[in-house]
Chain A
Amino acid sequence: ILNVEQSPQSLHVQEGDSTNFTCSFPSSNFYALHWYRWETAKSPEALFVMTLNGDEKKKGRISATLNTKEGYSYLYIKGSQPEDSATYLCASTTSGTYKYIFGTGTRLKVLA
């Protein structure tokens, strides 16, 4: 994998459903993996930064896992609420460059 890729591109779920999406990133020279939440007309806000293989982070109903050897991360949302509707971005940074390369995001819509 040469670029940061996210799937699915968009997702509609019912309120109360749990959901997850995937971020794939280059595993060579890995430095850190970032998840951001981006609401319409606002700027992206950081959710998690993960650096170690096997890392798991949690914030309320949202959690994330990291596999640096195979180059993927999952973001989970438990019991989705309408206010979770946003675009979820992941970004990878590689050692030596420290530049954040973003995926194109997963657009989540939670239906009430």
Chain B
Amino acid sequence: DAGVIQSPRHEVTEMGQEVTLRCKPISGHDYLFWYRQTMMRGLELLIYFNNNVPIDDSGMPEDRFSAKMPNASFSTLKIQPSEPRDSAVYFCASSLSGKGTEAFFGQGTRLTVV
């Protein structure tokens, strides 16, 4: 398996534009997580899905953020409209339920909003 795949790796956009980040989890994994990395807060959990269903979105900062998982092999994180303070690295991770399992991370998307 190629691991968790995120795209794009880098995104530069202007304030006010819509941004869509994409994630392909590892095949067979039933949990998917979106994290945001910032200097101040480290890795913040934004939202996670189990079997494509959003379980907890309490970490989503504002209504400008939304996430979907239309099927087991694809998820998106959308920011509309984007703001400079959204600039960060966004990571997607997937895992298999069960004790003793680990989460596998994608390479991240570095988002810069100017």
Chain A interface (Cβ within 8 Å of chain B)? 31-32, 34, 42-46, 49, 51, 89, 91, 97-105
Q: Which of A42, A99, A104 contacts B55 (CB 8 A)?
A: A99
Q: Is the CB of B97 within 8 A of A98?
A: yes
In the complex the two chains form, what is the Cα distance from A98 to B50 in whole Å? 9
In the complex formed, the residue of B with least CB distance to A46 is B102
The bracket for how many chain B residues form the interface is 20 to 34
1/0 contact string of B81-108 vs chain A (CB within 8 Å)? 0000000000101010101111111111
With A34-B102, A49-B102, A51-B100 already in contact, the answer to whether A89 and B43 are too (CB < 8 A) is yes
Residues of A within 8 A of B31 (CB): 98
In the complex the two chains form, what is the Cα distance from A89 to B55 in whole Å? 24
In the complex the two chains form, what is the Cα distance from A57 to B102 in whole Å? 14
In the complex the two chains form, what is the Cα distance from A19 to B74 in whole Å? 41
Residues of B within 8 A of A42 (CB): 107
Q: Which of A89, A97, A103 contacts B56 (CB 8 A)?
A: A97
In the complex the two chains form, what is the Cα distance from A46 to B4 in whole Å? 14
What are 23 A-B pairs with beta-carbon distances under 8 A? A31-B99, A32-B99, A32-B100, A42-B107, A43-B106, A45-B105, A46-B102, A46-B104, A49-B100, A49-B101, A49-B102, A89-B42, A97-B56, A99-B45, A99-B56, A100-B33, A100-B103, A102-B35, A103-B42, A104-B41, A104-B42, A104-B43, A105-B43
Residues of A within 8 A of B93 (CB): 100
Residues of B within 8 A of A51 (CB): 99-100
Residues of A within 8 A of B41 (CB): 104
Residues of B within 8 A of A99 (CB): 33, 45, 48, 55-56
In the complex the two chains form, what is the Cα distance from A32 to B104 in whole Å? 15
Residues of B within 8 A of A49 (CB): 100-102
| B57-100 residues at the A interface, CB under 8 angstroms | 91, 93, 95, 97, 99-100
